[in-house]
């Protein structure tokens, strides 16, 4: 006896680009993605033609069920995994470049802007629930060109993030093992393998379980670093060289490079559409972004200020290197989970995006069949290999973070959300009310900030990379020398 409802208005329905199938059920919920809710009730009796039609529709039904389990707490966990990792390790060096006061203002100010732009992204998702990834939203304002451009930006950005985590994993293993006779490429390959294994779960709800380990890992590692640097500063006979104000030799280039490192720490907006697509109650997203935003502001400001105060202008990036050799080995060991979990979630997001585009009308996209799993594993392997190549070819930490921030986060966190508000969220003319005027000014300012980061930040990062090569501070690509990572 069938367990599916009797009242079906239209069956069968063709597979659609947005969700993989189409059906029309009376009184279907409209507050979220109708195809998701409808699949719980009716997808099981759709006919596609052929003897295995029921099996195929059941596969689709089970797939939709699997990708509709995310609550606001798990969303917060996923956003923490996405955001609080490499960014926190680069903030203290940014403080050293711009001074204590400017560093605190940047951490708090940019954090509040990131919360607001993520709120706008959530508004767009609620208004247009068919959006699955960032490129879908840009398509609404820029058409097909914007869709393809942003899709490429989205994929390249996330692969670069995986590459950054591969690099950090290599640095961590070299420091932990402390055996310069071992070829550095070995640690790079091991890092890539770990990133691949952790990226195997295709559902964000399943992946969120790792988020608790991730968060505990980075908090403990940062805590050890703060305590160790504080003890070193207390026991040192030499006063710490720190300042509340920017150093006299600060240049526009160094200031913007430091700013982009802080911006990198607030890069959670890029995956928000993807994560919200799995929420069973998407209106709860506001709780998630406020929870994450305030946690980030607190952690980054405290980490940057304390480690800079204890170490001074000589603070390293990543900051764990500033704890002293022995302590940094322990801190890196504890930080291994966050390095690899936060890196692998980017593989999952970009893998889901590519498979959704490549198989819009095929149950393969749900990764619950042999063919689906085969395609998924091949995709994750390809992403990981590309990321490893990037990590070996571009082995400079700060400059890489700055370049990524300038080229991509400037759009995903700043000017795209501002455009979303003007073209998709705003109700009435910009001057129709005091609220509209205030929000218009705010979003115009956010848009200009994004363009400034895109232009000046990219310039600062390119100059930094060029100067590093000229000074011989960058090792050769694909080198075995462990000392070159010091």
For the stretch 259-291, pLDDT in tens is 888 988 898 899 999 999 989 999 999 999 999
- The pLDDT-based confidence of 424 (bands split at 50, 70, 90) is very high
Crossing angle (nearest 10°) for helices 252-265 and 397-404: 80
- Alpha-carbon distance of 19 to 60, in angstroms, equals 10
Mean pLDDT on 362-367: 84
* Whether the Cβ atoms of residue 232 and residue 324 lie closer than 8 Å to each other: yes
> pLDDT above 90 covers what percent of the chain?
62
pLDDT of 399: 67
- Partners of 279 in beta bridges: 70
53: domain range?
Answer: 8-62
Inside any domain, residue 3? no
pLDDT digits (tens, 9 = 90+) for 428-463: 999 999 999 999 999 999 999 999 999 999 998 889
* Of the residues 46, 62, 78, the one at which a domain ends: 62
Closest CA to 195 of 396, 405, 383: 383
Residue with tokens 């928000």: 272
Which tokens belong to 224? Answer: 């050890």
* Whether the Cβ atoms of residue 94 and residue 224 lie closer than 8 Å to each other: no
Cis peptide before 318 (omega within 30 of 0): yes
Global pTM reads 0.84
- CA distances from residue 148 to 18, 135, 143, 293, 425 in whole angstroms, order as listed: 16, 7, 9, 30, 22
Statement to judge: residues 57 and 86 lie in one domain: no
Statement to judge: residues 51 and 92 lie in one domain: no
| Res 257 pLDDT > 90 | no
Q: What is the DSSP letter of 205?
A: H
- Alpha-carbon distance of 278 to 276, in angstroms, equals 5
Inside any domain, residue 452? yes
pLDDT of 55: 54
Inside any domain, residue 381? yes
Mean pLDDT on 150-162: 93
Specify the DSSP element, H or E, that contains 406.
none
Phi-psi region of 70 (alpha: psi -120 to 50; beta: other; left: phi over 0): beta
Inside any domain, residue 217? yes
* Of the residues 42, 62, 82, the one at which a domain ends: 62
Statement to judge: residues 16 and 126 lie in one domain: no
- The pLDDT-based confidence of 357 (bands split at 50, 70, 90) is very high
Which tokens belong to 335? Answer: 């930080």
| Res 376 pLDDT > 70 | yes
| Res 485 pLDDT > 80 | no
Which tokens belong to 126? Answer: 């609620």
How far from the centroid of its chain's Cα atoms is residue 302's Cα?
21
Inside any domain, residue 100? yes
Statement to judge: residues 336 and 300 lie in one domain: yes
- Alpha-carbon distance of 174 to 193, in angstroms, equals 16
Residue with tokens 């899709």: 151
What is the torsion angle, in degrees rounded to the nearest 10, for the CA atoms of residue 280, residue 282, residue 287 and residue 288? 80
Helical H runs in 236-284? 252-265, 272-276
Tell me the average pLDDT of the chain. Answer: 85
- The pLDDT-based confidence of 66 (bands split at 50, 70, 90) is low
- The pLDDT-based confidence of 99 (bands split at 50, 70, 90) is very high
- Alpha-carbon distance of 348 to 367, in angstroms, equals 12
Cis peptide before 12 (omega within 30 of 0): yes
pLDDT of 64: 61
Q: Which region among 47-56, 265-274, 397-406 has the lowest average model confidence (pLDDT)?
A: 47-56
pLDDT of 59: 55
* Of the residues 62, 81, 101, the one at which a domain ends: 62
Largest CA distance in the chain: 82
Q: Using alpha carbons only, how large is the chain's radius of gyration in Å?
A: 24
- Please count the structural domains in the chain: 2
Statement to judge: residues 32 and 158 lie in one domain: no
Statement to judge: residues 391 and 325 lie in one domain: yes
Statement to judge: residues 416 and 466 lie in one domain: yes
pLDDT of 368: 81
**3-state DSSP assignment of residue 411:** helix
Statement to judge: residues 28 and 165 lie in one domain: no
**3-state DSSP assignment of residue 102:** helix
Closest CA to 386 of 152, 162, 193: 162
Statement to judge: residues 412 and 354 lie in one domain: yes
Inside any domain, residue 149? yes
pLDDT digits (tens, 9 = 90+) for 188-209: 999 999 999 999 999 898 898 8
Statement to judge: residues 366 and 404 lie in one domain: yes
Inside any domain, residue 1? no
**CATH number (domain holding residue 295):** 1.10.4160.10
> pLDDT above 70 covers what percent of the chain?
85
Statement to judge: residues 120 and 242 lie in one domain: yes
Sign of CA dihedral 62, 64, 70, 71: negative
pLDDT of 7: 37
| Res 30 pLDDT > 90 | no
Mean pLDDT on 140-167: 93
pLDDT digits (tens, 9 = 90+) for 198-246: 999 998 988 988 999 999 999 999 999 999 999 999 999 999 999 999 9
Inside any domain, residue 2? no
- CA distances from residue 415 to 46, 122, 249, 407, 459 in whole angstroms, order as listed: 42, 15, 31, 12, 18
pLDDT of 245: 96
Statement to judge: residues 317 and 170 lie in one domain: yes
Mean pLDDT on 343-347: 95
| Res 464 pLDDT > 60 | yes
pLDDT of 121: 98
């Amino acid at each position: 006896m069938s367990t599916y409802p009797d009242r079906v208005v239209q069956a069968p329905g063709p597979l659609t680009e947005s969700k993989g199938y189409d059906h029309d059920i009376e009184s279907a919920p409209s507050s979220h993605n109708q195809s998701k809710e409808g699949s719980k009730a009716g997808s099981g009796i759709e006919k596609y033609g052929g003897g295995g039609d029921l099996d195929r529709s059941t596969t689709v039904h089970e797939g939709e069920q699997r990708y509709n389990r995310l609550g606001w707490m798990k969303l917060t966990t996923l956003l923490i995994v996405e955001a609080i990792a490499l960014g926190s390790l680069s903030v203290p060096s940014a403080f050293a470049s711009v001074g204590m006061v400017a560093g605190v203002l940047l951490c708090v100010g940019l954090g509040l802007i990131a919360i607001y732009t993520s709120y706008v992204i959530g508004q767009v998702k609620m208004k247009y629930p068919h959006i699955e990834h960032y490129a879908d939203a840009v398509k609404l304002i820029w058409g097909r060109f914007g869709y393809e451009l942003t899709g490429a930006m989205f994929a390249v950005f996330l692969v670069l993030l995986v590459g950054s985590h591969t690099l950090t994993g290599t640095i961590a293993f070299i420091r932990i093992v402390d055996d310069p006779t071992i070829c550095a490429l070995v640690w790079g390959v091991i890092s890539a393998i770990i990133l691949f294994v952790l990226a195997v779960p295709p559902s964000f709800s399943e992946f969120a379980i790792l988020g608790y380990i991730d968060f505990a890992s980075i908090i403990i590692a940062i805590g050890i670093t703060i305590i160790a640097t504080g003890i070193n500063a207390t026991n040192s006979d030499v006063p710490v060289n720190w300042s509340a104000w920017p150093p006299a030799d600060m240049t526009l280039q160094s200031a913007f490079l430091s700013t982009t490192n802080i911006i990198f720490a607030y890069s959670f907006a890029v995956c928000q559409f993807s994560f919200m697509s799995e929420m069973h109650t998407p209106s709860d997203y506001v709780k998630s972004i406020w929870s994450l935003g305030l946690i980030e502001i607190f952690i980054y400001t405290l980490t940057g200020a304390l480690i800079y105060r204890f170490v001074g202008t000589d603070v390293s990036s990543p900051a764990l290197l500033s704890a002293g050799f022995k302590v940094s080995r322990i801190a890196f060991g504890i930080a291994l989970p966050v390095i690899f979990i936060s890196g692998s979630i980017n593989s999952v997001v970009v893998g889901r995006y590519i498979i959704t585009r490549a198989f819009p009308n095929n149950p393969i996209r749900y990764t619950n069949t042999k063919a689906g799993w085969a395609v998924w594993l091949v995709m994750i392997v390809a992403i990981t290999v590309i990321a490893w190549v990037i990590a070996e070819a571009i082995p400079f930490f700060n400059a890489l973070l700055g370049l990524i921030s300038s080229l991509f986060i400037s759009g995903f966190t700043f000017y795209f959300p501002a455009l979303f508000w003007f073209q998709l969220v705003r109700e009435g003319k910009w001057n129709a009310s005091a609220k509209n005027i205030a929000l218009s000014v705010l979003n115009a300012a956010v848009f200009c900030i994004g363009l400034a980061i895109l232009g000046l930040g990219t310039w600062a990062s390119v100059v930094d990379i060029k100067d590093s090569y000229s000074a011989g501070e960058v090792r050769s690509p694909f080198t075995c020398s462990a000392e070159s990572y010091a």
